[in-house]
Amino acid sequence: MKEKIKEFAKQYLIGFVLGVITAISISVIAATYFPSNDVTYDNTESGLSSTDVQGAIDELYNTCFPPKASDTIIENAGLEKDPYECRYFFTGANPNNYITFNNEKAGWRIVSVECDGTIKIMSRSSLGEIEWDTSGSRGSNDWARPATLNTYLNWTYLNSLSSEAQSQIVSHNWSIGAVSFGTSGLDNIVNAENSRKWNGKIALPTVSEYLRTNSNSNCKTFNSNYTCRNTTWIYSTVGGAQWWLLTVNHDDRVYWVSSGEMGIYYAFSTVTRVFPTLYLSSDIKITGGTGTQSDPYTIE
């Protein structure tokens, strides 16, 4: 679609003078006829910087139709396209996926970019050691019940964020299906997680997301090999202590990660950390940054 619009603009810009585009307060002053894209023109009154026809068309197009933040990140960062869903993941030990959110400079990292334009991010800071659920003697692993951690994240924690940050979060479908421990094949894990959905604003990373952010193809399954922790940025973000995942087992237990290795534990626990995860709206814009820790993406 973008190329068709550009071609349309090129055909009709050549030989004509564009008037004032009142919606964006930009006018383009072009020569009467341009024999090629190499011809330069006086654009002192246009508000544009390009001095060739194609450059002016590209610049005008991007002004009228600014790319989504998700498109910008995908194009500039070289994310890995997921083979199972329409998603793009940051993989490896330390990709450039740092982002400033809730006035926390480089305080979050991008997990994935979704084809619906939303961006999934994960906090680098733990909220402390919190129970996944406190009902009964072992807790319930039904996130949608709702689990007590669900309520805490989507009420107490959500309301603690700045008003700007809250406006940038969007409700989204999360995969909360049960996965049998030791399930072989990442495709089977993804399908099991997707067997049940919950819609909300804040939750946790899933088992498959933890595996999909690993750049080592041998580590994209349940694996007790501790070297796997060296090829995913999530491990360097959360460290070695235990932390909760969103995915559950078929009994009252929930998946957690400890020293890079996944295991299952009853939902009632006081020793497991929480790293909130959420989706940024597809309407946000990238205002700066390259994604490094010292120069994180900034948004508005």
pLDDT higher than 50, residue 142:
yes
pTM as predicted: 0.78
Q: Does some domain include residue 296?
A: no
pLDDT higher than 80, residue 10:
no
- In tens, the pLDDT along 22-76 reads 444 444 444 444 444 555 555 555 555 656 666 666 555 555 555 678 777 876 6
Single residue among 39, 64, 89 that ends a domain in this structure = 64
- In tens, the pLDDT along 123-139 reads 999 999 999 999 988 89
Classify residue 282 as exposed, middle or buried by CB count within 10 Å of its CB (0-12, 13-18, 19+): middle
Report the pLDDT value the prediction gives residue 136, as an integer from 0 to 100.
84
Q: Does some domain include residue 69?
A: no
Report the pLDDT value the prediction gives residue 49, as an integer from 0 to 100.
62
pLDDT higher than 50, residue 287:
yes
Assign 250 a pLDDT band (cuts: 50, 70, 90).
confident
Same domain, yes or no: 146 and 15: no
The CA distance from 258 to 235, in Å, is 9
Q: Does some domain include residue 298?
A: no
Assign 176 a pLDDT band (cuts: 50, 70, 90).
very high
Report the pLDDT value the prediction gives residue 60, as an integer from 0 to 100.
56
Q: Does some domain include residue 71?
A: no
Q: Does some domain include residue 110?
A: yes
Q: What whole-number percentage of the chain has pLDDT above 90?
A: 61
Single residue among 64, 91, 114 that ends a domain in this structure = 64
Report the pLDDT value the prediction gives residue 119, as an integer from 0 to 100.
95
Average per-residue pLDDT for the chain: 83
Provide the residue range defining the domain that includes 196: 80-288
Same domain, yes or no: 53 and 90: no
Q: Does some domain include residue 222?
A: yes
Same domain, yes or no: 8 and 120: no
Q: What whole-number percentage of the chain has pLDDT above 70?
A: 76
Q: Does some domain include residue 205?
A: yes
For the chain, the farthest-separated pair of C-alpha atoms sits apart, in whole angstroms, at 80
Report the pLDDT value the prediction gives residue 73, as an integer from 0 to 100.
81
Report the pLDDT value the prediction gives residue 261, as an integer from 0 to 100.
87
pLDDT higher than 50, residue 102:
yes
- In tens, the pLDDT along 222-234 reads 776 778 899 999 9
**Residue 75 Cα to chain centre, angstroms:** 14
SS3 string of 105-120? EEEEEEEEEECCCCEE
Same domain, yes or no: 143 and 6: no
Report the pLDDT value the prediction gives residue 207, as an integer from 0 to 100.
96
Number of domains present in the structure of the chain: 2
Q: Does some domain include residue 299?
A: no
The identity of residue 270, as a single letter, is: T
The reply to whether omega before 146 is within 30° of 0 (cis) is yes
The CA distance from 28 to 79, in Å, is 36
